[in-house]
Structure 1
Amino acid sequence: MLEPVMHILQSKRIILASGSPRRVEILKAVGLKFDVCPSLYEENLNPSKYKCHSEYVLDCASNKVQEVWDRLSAEGNQPDIIIGADTVVSMDGRLYGKPNKEDKAIEMLKELEGRAHTVFTGVILHMGTDRVKFTESTKVFMAPISEETIKAYVKTGEPLDKAGGYGIQGLGGSLIQKIEGDYFNVMGLPLHRLCQHLVEIVSNAN
């Protein structure tokens, strides 16, 4: 999708405001040239104060992008485009973030196994005075999983620091029966809609 405008995108300084290896992998797969500048924003928003998860992830992504923009601007190093994203898992109105300990990951997977949950990602494209923002949701059906399997999976270390406590692109993919929606959204960056907006941004600017 990006091929007709890739020569223009390649001339832009694009920043990914995330240190996520999955997001880096997704952007590299479509041939995009970019630099990684993880946001230093401290994620301290209270999700319970939001009417919907989409608003929450958008605000989180927006704050990440703003921190990077302000920092680079202060250094006199403004990019052309900053891409920022935030991803959460939701089930029964509850948000599941990124477990940082094995026991938290086990607890999370015990609740998600055998049921369907939704992955929400908020994306911000920041171009100086202009911004594009959107959200994507994907329904994920996790298979029934034994406690033994959950504990063995968590021992691999893969679930740590991943929303919902699993990585669909890795070993965790074997735990997923099916999805409804964008696969890349579950990885942390809805690729199709991101590319759509990049094409629109470049086309409108030229």
Structure 2
Amino acid sequence: MSEKQPLSTSTTTIPANTAQVSEAAAIEHGALPARTGGATKQPLPRGPFPLDIPVLNQLRGKRIILASKSPRRKQILSSLGLTNLEIMPSNKPENLSKEDLGPFEYVLQTATQKCLDVYQTTLEHSLVSIPDPALVVSADTVIVSHHGRILEKPRSELDHLNMLKMLRDQKTHKCYTAVVALAPREDARYPGYNIETTVQETKVVFDDLVSDELIEAYVKTREGADKAGGYGLQGMGSLLVEKIEGSWDNVVGLPLRATLALIEKAVLNQDDIPLGEETEDDII
């Protein structure tokens, strides 16, 4: 019997740098984090991050009230990093006279009334465990037709149809949004708070070629049923609009840049003397 021959074996030699090449490729394609100094470098957190400015840093963690139940206003204001907003709409009737005041004063006084009502309500029902609000923001939006008619939310489907057809036929109209920011005064000087206001105007041009069928189909979506003027520029309502002149988010319901400026004035300008509180020494 012949002796058994040893089993043949084969050896594959792996290049010394293969593992390094594979790791480098994996890092390049994002499968592995990069190594720095022998340690794994943690991936950077993704933004966006809150704005790092004094007024927002001062308000962070404090009680902030939005005196509106509009989800669009909440979304716009939250984009500043004020994500823990307390929603508390005013229950006071909006019964000011449009005819006597006109669109500018009407929208301004309505927004001011909402803000003061919510602030006073929080003080009347304050608890030891719940701090007073550091900021209250309110807003009101109206659409004003080319002939000066003030339009708010449609009252019915028929009213909604007629409203949009009128805006289309008149081609152009204006959107007014009033914003009010209220912050308690640290020195408690009368009336105990700073209040700042603004009214922003945007011109909206409807497409006069929009058909009755499109308007009827849009009304049935119910998107614009809870909006001043009966349409939402940020949604399907943009199909009705040819162009705007001014702030886009003003038509949506809260002009962000103007709102931030108001918040800064109300919260940070605590040394200003409120209107009507000037002394003789202050009058030149």
Question: Normalised by the size of structure 2, how large is the TM-score?
Answer: 0.69
Q: Do the aligned partners of 1:110 and 1:147 also contact (CA within 8 Å) in 2?
A: yes
Show the counterpart of 1:189.
254
- Out of 157, 164, 180, the residue aligned to residue 229 of structure 2 is 164
Distance in 1 between the 2:269 and 2:95 partners?
35
Partner amino acid for 1:61? Answer: A
Residue 80 (1) aligns with residue 167 (2): no
- Out of 104, 112, 132, the residue aligned to residue 159 of structure 2 is 104
Distance in 1 between the 2:211 and 2:117 partners?
42
Residue 48 (1) aligns with residue 99 (2): yes
Q: Do the aligned partners of 1:88 and 1:95 also contact (CA within 8 Å) in 2?
A: yes
Higher relative contact order (CA 8 A, sep 6+): 1
CA displacement 1:128-155 (0-9 Å, x = unmatched) = 3211011100000111211111100000
Structure with more strand by fraction: 1
Q: Do the aligned partners of 2:182 and 2:266 also contact (CA within 8 Å) in 1?
A: no
Distance in 2 between the 1:150 and 1:80 partners?
43
- Where does the alignment leave 5 or more consecutive residues of structure 1 unmatched? none
Aligned residues: 205
- When Rg is computed on C-alpha atoms for both structures, the one with the higher figure is 2
Show the counterpart of 2:35.
none
Show the counterpart of 1:64.
114
Residue 23 (1) aligns with residue 73 (2): yes
Show structure 1 runs of 4+ deviating over 6 A: none
The alpha-carbon distance between structure 1 residues 45 and 16, as it changes in their structure 2 partners (threshold 3 A), is same
Residue 133 (1) aligns with residue 197 (2): yes
Q: Do the aligned partners of 1:89 and 1:164 also contact (CA within 8 Å) in 2?
A: yes
Q: Do the aligned partners of 1:2 and 1:195 also contact (CA within 8 Å) in 2?
A: no
Q: Do the aligned partners of 1:100 and 1:161 also contact (CA within 8 Å) in 2?
A: no
The alpha-carbon distance between structure 1 residues 3 and 199, as it changes in their structure 2 partners (threshold 3 A), is farther
- Out of 171, 180, 183, the residue aligned to residue 124 of structure 1 is 180
Q: Percent of aligned positions with the same letter in both sequences? A: 40
- Out of 35, 39, 57, the residue aligned to residue 90 of structure 2 is 39
Q: Aligned-pair distance for 1:205?
A: 4.6
Structure with more helix by fraction: 1
CA displacement 1:24-63 (0-9 Å, x = unmatched) = 111122222321111111111111011x311111110111
Partner amino acid for 1:146? Answer: S
Distance in 2 between the 1:132 and 1:48 partners?
25
Residue 89 (1) aligns with residue 143 (2): yes
Q: Aligned-pair distance for 1:156?
A: 0.4
- Where does the alignment leave 5 or more consecutive residues of structure 2 unmatched? 1-49, 185-192, 272-284
Q: Do the aligned partners of 1:159 and 1:165 also contact (CA within 8 Å) in 2?
A: yes
Q: Report the secondary structure of 1:68's partner residue.
A: helix
The alpha-carbon distance between structure 1 residues 71 and 200, as it changes in their structure 2 partners (threshold 3 A), is closer
Distance in 2 between the 1:170 and 1:70 partners?
35
Question: Normalised by the size of structure 1, how large is the TM-score?
Answer: 0.93
Show the counterpart of 2:241.
176
